[in-house]
Structure 1
Amino acid sequence: MKTVNIGGVPEHFNLAWYLTLKNGDYKNENINLRWHDYPGGTGEMNEALRKGEIDIAVILTEGIIKDIIEGNPSKIVQTFVETPLIWGIHVGANSTYQSLEDLKGSKAAISRYGSGSHLMAYINAQNNHWDIKKELQFEVVQDLNGAVDGLTNGKADYFMWEKFMTKPLVDKGVFRRLGSCPTPWPCFVIAVRDTFLENDADTLQTILKIINKATTEFKSIPNIDQVIAKRYDQKLEDVQEWLSLTEWSQSSMSETTIDNVQEQLLALNIIPKSVPYNTLVHNL
């Protein structure tokens, strides 16, 4: 049996992976797929890909593109979630900040440099016409729990994270959400280490066939909204809204989309240069 290591965030976007693992779909194809949770997000997964701790990552588009350009020996093989990720912009419950304008020049909590929470702070700053060189500061907090501590204790002023996963913290009065910032591109992709692509292409094809079938049928699973609400401690109406806004993909990422992402990251000085499509994407 072929052992394959895969990583992703422990969030509702990845529930289809859990369900297919629980059903034994990969073992039926003689694949021992081992899932690893990365609560630290994209920065943590990029490190794991580089070290060979995982073969595959379900990862944020902007974060993996930046890291491949900086030497991560991996490629994007397909889009996983077609729709944007809606980043909530949060402050601590007792913060004096009342609007996005108030946050100009304050300190953003980020999970890691190169993570989605880091890169999207630039997008948010651009959207609000801030001076990116002078009005962005960062405090590394590792993950959501670190952000709760950082915002509560004043180490950082605001934190950007997927708004539905942070909604329970808003409901409990731990965070206040001042606004939101959607990614201007499809949010999650499946990235694979080059060595795995070279040596195990058939195994990868089988894994993708299984997960793509699962995401195609995901919304039609009976009571899936209730399953998600219970598993991720969400209100049913929030889960139903999230499901209505989220579309999975079973297709490779287009050259137009890749060019668009690179263009925006380059304009923000997040990447030093644009690279050819086939440097970032491997079409199976």
Structure 2
Amino acid sequence: MKTIKVGGVPEHFNLPWHLCIENNKFESEDLNIVWKDFPEGTGAMCKALRAGEIDVAVILTEGIIRDIINGNPSKIIQTYIASPLIWGIHVDARSPYKNIEDLKGTKAAISREGSGSHLMAYVNAEHKNWDIDKLKFEIINNLEGAVEALKNDKAQYFMWEHFTTKPLVDNKTFRLVADCPTPWPCFVIAATDEIIKKDSVALKKMLRVLNEETKGFKQQKEIDLQLSERYEQKLEDIRKWLDVTRWSQKQISSEDLEKVQKNLLRLNLIDHEVSSEKLTHKL
């Protein structure tokens, strides 16, 4: 049996993986998929891929593209979520900041350098015509760190996936001031060059099982109830999220790769663009 170590965020997007593991769907294909949660997000997964701690990551598109260009020996093997990620821009519920313009010149809480919360702070700043060279950051590791940083005014705003943070808005820990969707498919599946070279057949089987699950995922009976219970979210929020979320079973397009790179280059987050072949691998 082939073992593949997979990393991803502990969020509702990844339930199809867990269902495949729990229902022995990978096992029936002679695969042992070992899942590791990364609450710190994309920056931590990039580091784990580089160190060989995981073989595969379910990771933010812009984060892994930037890290591959910066030397991460990995490739994108498929898009996972084809729809944009809706990033909520949050402040402490008691803070004086009422709208997005109030946040100009303040400090953003980010999970770590190279994370989605870091990169999207630049995307948001560009949308608002702020000077990106004047952006300030406080590294907070995870959601709990963000709660502390905003409460103690070490940072003034925090960008994280809208529905994941919604319970913290509902209980008045955070206040949502705006949303900022990514202009590209939000999650891809990346694998290290080493496992691609060594075990591409196993990777192919893994994707086949996963894609079978995601194809009919939204049609599964009472999947909304299951998501709501497992991820402690209101049923109405899960239903809204399911409405706007599309899983993919295809490789990312060269157009989307170009769009992400052009944005990263313009924001000085990479210093050059590369060809699709340097970023992706067809199994």
Q: TM-score range by the shorter chain?
A: over 0.9
Partner of 1:32: 32
Q: Is residue 2:197 matched to residue 1:198?
A: yes
Could you say what secondary structure the match of 1:39 adopts?
coil
The letter for the 2-side match of 1:253 is I
Partners of 1:31 and 1:231 in 2: how far apart? Answer: 25
Runs of 4 or more, structure 1, over 6 Å off, are none
The letter for the 2-side match of 1:133 is D
Deviations for 1:44-72, whole angstroms, at most 9, x for unmatched residues?
A: 00010000000000000000000000100
Partner of 2:53: 53
Partners of 1:31 and 1:224 in 2: how far apart? Answer: 25
Runs (5+) with no aligned partner, structure 1: none
Could you say what secondary structure the match of 1:59 adopts?
strand
RMSD: 0.5
Could you say what secondary structure the match of 2:105 adopts?
coil
The letter for the 1-side match of 2:137 is F
Partner of 1:276: 275
Post-superposition shift, 1:2?
Answer: 1.3
Deviations for 1:159-205, whole angstroms, at most 9, x for unmatched residues?
A: 00000000000000000000000001000000000010011010000
The letter for the 2-side match of 1:243 is L
**What are the residue-to-residue correspondences of 1:80-91 with 2, within 5 Å?**
80-91=80-91
Partners of 1:227 and 1:33 in 2: how far apart? Answer: 22
Could you say what secondary structure the match of 1:200 adopts?
helix
Partners of 2:81 and 2:7 in 1: how far apart? Answer: 15
Partner of 1:238: 237
The letter for the 1-side match of 2:23 is N
Partners of 1:196 and 1:186 in 2: how far apart? Answer: 24
Runs (5+) with no aligned partner, structure 2: none
Deviations for 1:86-133, whole angstroms, at most 9, x for unmatched residues?
A: 000000011111110010010000000000000000000001110111
Q: Is residue 2:149 matched to residue 1:150?
A: yes
Partner of 2:169: 170
The letter for the 1-side match of 2:224 is D
Partners of 1:271 and 1:213 in 2: how far apart? Answer: 35
Post-superposition shift, 1:30?
Answer: 1.4
**What are the residue-to-residue correspondences of 1:54-133 with 2, within 5 Å?**
54-133=54-133
Could you say what secondary structure the match of 1:251 adopts?
coil
Could you say what secondary structure the match of 1:250 adopts?
coil
The letter for the 1-side match of 2:2 is K
Partners of 2:107 and 2:226 in 1: how far apart? Answer: 36
Partners of 1:255 and 1:243 in 2: how far apart? Answer: 26
Deviations for 1:208-233, whole angstroms, at most 9, x for unmatched residues?
A: 00000100010011000010011111
Partners of 2:199 and 2:2 in 1: how far apart? Answer: 9
Partner of 2:2: 2
Could you say what secondary structure the match of 2:75 adopts?
strand
Partner of 2:16: 16
Partners of 1:47 and 1:265 in 2: how far apart? Answer: 19
**What are the residue-to-residue correspondences of 1:180-195 with 2, within 5 Å?**
180-195=179-194
The letter for the 2-side match of 1:6 is V
Partners of 2:275 and 2:3 in 1: how far apart? Answer: 32
Post-superposition shift, 1:28?
Answer: 1.1
The letter for the 2-side match of 1:272 is D
The letter for the 1-side match of 2:210 is I
Post-superposition shift, 1:26?
Answer: 1.1
Partners of 2:7 and 2:34 in 1: how far apart? Answer: 8
Partners of 2:280 and 2:33 in 1: how far apart? Answer: 23
Post-superposition shift, 1:33?
Answer: 0.6
Partners of 1:3 and 1:211 in 2: how far apart? Answer: 15
Partner of 1:218: 217
Could you say what secondary structure the match of 2:172 adopts?
coil
Could you say what secondary structure the match of 2:248 adopts?
coil
Could you say what secondary structure the match of 1:283 adopts?
coil
TM-score (norm: length of structure 1): 0.99
Post-superposition shift, 1:3?
Answer: 1.2
Partner of 2:262: 263
